């Protein structure tokens, strides 16, 4: 397996970090979406006339937006992206927008590349700005949006995340959290990046002084190990498993620094792997 190479000298967000608001389309989709979002905001704390549940207007407004996206996905997506860029937008509105975007992404799958790149840049920036009030709430929903995008635009999302994962530089916690989500959601596409991801995170360990960050790293490592175990379990041929393990040698050297532990892992795979363990340990 060839580990994916990431060029850390290039900044995928350099030209798009400060995005200008998109021009409203001729059909007034942006204004229509804004009006529907206003309805959702006004109905956030209300109940319906019977007093039995949340305001139905909020749900209907969301349905109208996602339904319009079935016929004009790029237009609606660009309108929502522009809504995210409106100054002094409330946290609740951002959460509503990201949730709608996730629904559109799930129902449409492949989307216009330019719009996807804008959304990746905005969501990535959002999830790294956790110092402000309600930062974690926005970071969580932005992270989930990136994960939703990764199902059909994995390389674009991964490139953005890897850019913010640099050796000996403590990254933002939601970068690591999102990487773990990506591994859990699509281990097959993530595996080529597994080695470089783990190697880079290990260089951050001594820099993680806060308990919360250590907990995030430990949780991510647990997910990565579970995904490697799952990845190995799908291979029935013993010698194929050995080949996979060999390709993960740099990662295993980090997870299992003791030679005896690495040898024990090989022995557990199968007799075929056990006979070949000396070659693997070279």
Within-domain flag for 133: yes
pLDDT (tens digit per residue) in 178-212: 999 999 999 999 988 988 898 899 889 889 999 99
Cβ partners under 8 Å of residue 94, min gap 6:
84, 126, 138, 141
CA distance 263 to 246: 12
CA–CA distances in Å: residue 7 to residues 150, 162, 166, 177, 216: 20, 9, 11, 22, 25
CA distance 26 to 20: 18
Predicted local distance difference test score (pLDDT) of residue 6: 47
pLDDT (tens digit per residue) in 66-90: 999 988 888 999 999 999 998 888 9
Count of structural domains within the chain: 1
Within-domain flag for 111: yes
Within-domain flag for 212: no
Q: Which domain holds residue 62?
A: 1-163
Q: How many residues does the chain have?
A: 282
Q: Which two tokens stand for residue 65?
A: 């937006």
Q: Which two tokens stand for residue 274?
A: 């056990």
Within-domain flag for 173: no
Within-domain flag for 225: no
Within-domain flag for 232: no
Predicted local distance difference test score (pLDDT) of residue 213: 92
Name the 3-class secondary structure at 54.
strand
Within-domain flag for 105: yes
How many C-beta atoms lie closer than 10 Å to residue 73's C-beta?
20
pLDDT (tens digit per residue) in 219-232: 999 899 888 888 87
Within-domain flag for 183: no
- Predicted confidence (pLDDT) at residue 51 exceeds the cutoff of 60: no
Distance of CA 10 to the CA centre of its chain: 20
As a dihedral over the C-alpha atoms of residue 64, residue 66, residue 68, residue 71, rounded to 10 degrees, the angle is -150
């Amino acid at each position: 397996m060839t580990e994916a190479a990431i060029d850390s000298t290039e900044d995928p967000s350099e030209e798009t970090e400060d995005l200008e608001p998109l021009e409203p389309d001729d059909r007034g989709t942006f204004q229509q979406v804004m009006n529907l979002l206003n309805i959702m905001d006004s109905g956030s704390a209300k109940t319906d006339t019977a007093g039995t549940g949340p305001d139905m207007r909020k749900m209907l407004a969301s349905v109208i937006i996602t339904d319009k996206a079935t016929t004009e996905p790029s237009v609606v997506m660009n309108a929502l992206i522009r809504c995210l860029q409106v100054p002094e937008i409330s946290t609740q509105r951002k959460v509503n927008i990201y949730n709608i975007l996730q629904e559109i992404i799930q129902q449409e799958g492949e989307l216009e590349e330019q719009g996807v790149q804008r959304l990746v840049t905005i969501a990535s920036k959002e999830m790294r700005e956790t110092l402000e009030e309600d930062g974690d709430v926005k970071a969580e929903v932005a992270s989930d949006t990136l994960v939703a995008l990764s199902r059909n635009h994995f390389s674009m999302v991964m490139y953005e995340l890897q850019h913010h994962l640099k050796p000996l530089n403590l990254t933002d916690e939601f970068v690591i959290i999102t990487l773990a989500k990506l591994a859990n959601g699509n281990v097959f596409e993530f595996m080529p990046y597994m080695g470089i991801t783990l190697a880079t995170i290990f260089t951050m360990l001594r820099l993680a002084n806060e308990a919360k960050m250590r907990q995030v790293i430990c949780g991510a490592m647990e997910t990565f190990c579970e995904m490697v175990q799952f990845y190995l379990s799908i291979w029935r041929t013993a010698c194929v498993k050995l080949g996979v393990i060999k390709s993960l040698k740099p990662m295993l050297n980090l997870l299992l620094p003791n030679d005896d532990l690495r040898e024990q892992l090989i022995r557990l795979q199968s007799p075929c792997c056990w006979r070949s363990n000396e070659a693997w340990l070279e």
